[in-house]
């Protein structure tokens, strides 16, 4: 063998020797062992039977038993426009699920006191969470209804079982349509003390809401009807009306208003005059009181239009939930 031939032989031998190693290295490694070792039962056997919720349907005055996720489909259908960004729908899914689970009596919740027989929750938007029969509603809305249902089911599936927790406990997951720039602290409206995750936060995301700003003229006679009797008469004429802000809430809303020297709560006025929110400024007009309103709803917790706006700016549902409820974490619910 010449020196040249020996070198060639050596080179070929080296390639032959290294080739199997290269092949082995390049082969993709399997992500999980191909065989079930018996410790991990198949997925379907592991998944638990889904939770059931007792819903008081005030439209038919009956308590019905529903699968939790199916119940949530009806809540999202009723509570949020399905045309909203998917991440906003997912944030709403987590929040609506948290709200429902916290009420469930089988999990130690208080249930809903509006129902004629024991129920976890009712379908009144002013009391618990609004709810629409998904099948009936989709049929009524036609092809648009089917598309809405698809988006809502996607949001629920992609957040399956997920809830918002504070120090390991389900949060009081309240929400509203539009905060108008600043959300409200829960203790400004409800008793029960301050909650660290229900404080006022600045919301730059709901400017596209039709409720962001509004104007409303309240005729003096209507205003007089909403006020205590001793105030009504001077106010009805509109001439001696004197309004003063007595206390402002942490969210910059009307806490208490002084009307001709008498204190009236902002939330009371909102209810009596059917105002979109307690965030308003006023001016005296010839025909009545002209209100400049901000937002729609009580303003506490998640701002729905804000969630949509935040999603448009690239925030995901986790970031959205944690923005409106500072200090919470999102986790799978384990009863």
CB 143 within 8 Å of CB 77: no
CB 306 within 8 Å of CB 299: no
174 near Zn ion, judged by CB under 5 A = no
114 near Zn ion, judged by CB under 5 A = yes
122 near Zn ion, judged by CB under 5 A = yes
201 near Zn ion, judged by CB under 5 A = no
**DSSP codes, 294-328:** E-BS--BSEEHHHHHHHHHTT--HHHHHHHHSTT-
Q: How many helices (H) and strands (E) does the chain have?
A: 11, 14
112 near Zn ion, judged by CB under 5 A = yes
| β pairing state of 52-57 and 62-67 | antiparallel
Q: How many residues bind Zn ion (CB under 5 A)?
A: 10
Mark 252-291 with x for binding to Zn ion (rule: CB under 5 A) and - for no binding.
----------------------------------------
203 near Zn ion, judged by CB under 5 A = yes
119 near Zn ion, judged by CB under 5 A = no
**In a 3-state reduction of DSSP, which class is residue 293?**
strand
Which two structure tokens, joined as six digits, stand for 295?
């937002």
Mark 300-329 with x for binding to Zn ion (rule: CB under 5 A) and - for no binding.
---x--x-----------------------
CA separation for the pair 203, 195 (Å, rounded): 19
Choose between 114 and 158: whose C-beta lies nearer to Zn ion. 114
Least CB distance to Zn ion at residue 64 (A):
14
Distance, CA of 161 to chain centre: 15
207 near Zn ion, judged by CB under 5 A = no
- Report how far apart, in Å, the C-alpha atoms of 65 and of each of 50, 103, 261 are: 12, 14, 51
Choose between 114 and 268: whose C-beta lies nearer to Zn ion. 114
The binder of Zn ion chosen from 51, 88, 94, 128 (CB under 5 A):
128
SS3 content of the chain, % helix, strand, coil (to 5): 40, 20, 40
Least CB distance to Zn ion at residue 207 (A):
8
Least CB distance to Zn ion at residue 312 (A):
13
58 near Zn ion, judged by CB under 5 A = no
Q: How many CB atoms lie within 10 A of CB 169?
A: 8
Select the span of 89-97, 120-128, 250-258, 316-324 touching Zn ion (CB under 5 A).
Answer: 120-128
Least CB distance to Zn ion at residue 129 (A):
8
Least CB distance to Zn ion at residue 212 (A):
8
Q: How many CB atoms lie within 10 A of CB 161?
A: 18
Choose between 60 and 242: whose C-beta lies nearer to Zn ion. 60
Which residues in this chain contact Zn ion in the complex, by CB under 5 A?
A: 112, 114, 122, 127-128, 179, 203, 206, 303, 306
């Amino acid at each position: 063998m010449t020196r040249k031939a020996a070198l060639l032989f050596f080179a070929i031998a080296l390639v032959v020797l290294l080739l199997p190693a290269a092949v082995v290295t390049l082969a993709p490694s399997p992500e999980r062992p191909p065989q079930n070792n018996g410790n991990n039962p198949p997925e379907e056997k592991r998944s638990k039977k889904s939770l059931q919720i007792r819903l008081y349907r005030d439209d038919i005055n009956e308590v019905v038993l529903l699968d939790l996720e199916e119940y949530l489909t009806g809540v999202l259908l009723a509570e949020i426009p399905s045309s909203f960004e998917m991440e906003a729908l997912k944030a709403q899914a987590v929040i609506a699920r948290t709200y429902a689970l916290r009420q469930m009596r089988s999990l130690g919740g208080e249930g809903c006191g509006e129902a004629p027989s024991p129920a976890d929750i009712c379908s009144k938007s002013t009391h618990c969470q609004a709810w629409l029969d998904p099948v009936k509603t989709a049929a009524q809305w036609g092809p648009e209804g089917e598309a809405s249902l698809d988006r809502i089911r996607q949001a629920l599936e992609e957040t399956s079982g997920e809830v918002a927790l504070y120090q390991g406990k389900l949060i009081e997951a309240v929400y509203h349509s539009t905060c108008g720039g600043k959300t409200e602290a829960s203790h400004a409206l409800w008793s029960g003390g301050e909650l660290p995750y229900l404080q006022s936060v600045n919301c730059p995301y709901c400017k596209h809401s039709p409720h962001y700003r509004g104007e409303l003229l309240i005729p003096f006679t209507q205003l007089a009807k909403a006020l205590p009797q001793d105030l009504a008469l001077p106010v009805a004429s509109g001439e001696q009306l004197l309004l003063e802000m007595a206390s402002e809430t942490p969210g910059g809303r009307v806490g208490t208003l002084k009307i001709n020297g008498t204190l009236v709560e902002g939330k009371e006025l909102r209810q009596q005059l059917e105002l979109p929110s307690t965030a308003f400024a006023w001016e005296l007009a010839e025909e009545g009181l002209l209100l400049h309103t901000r937002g729609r709803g009580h303003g506490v917790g998640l701002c729905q239009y804000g969630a949509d706006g935040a999603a448009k700016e690239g925030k995901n549902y986790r970031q959205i939930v944690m923005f409106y409820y500072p200090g919470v974490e999102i986790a799978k619910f384990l009863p």
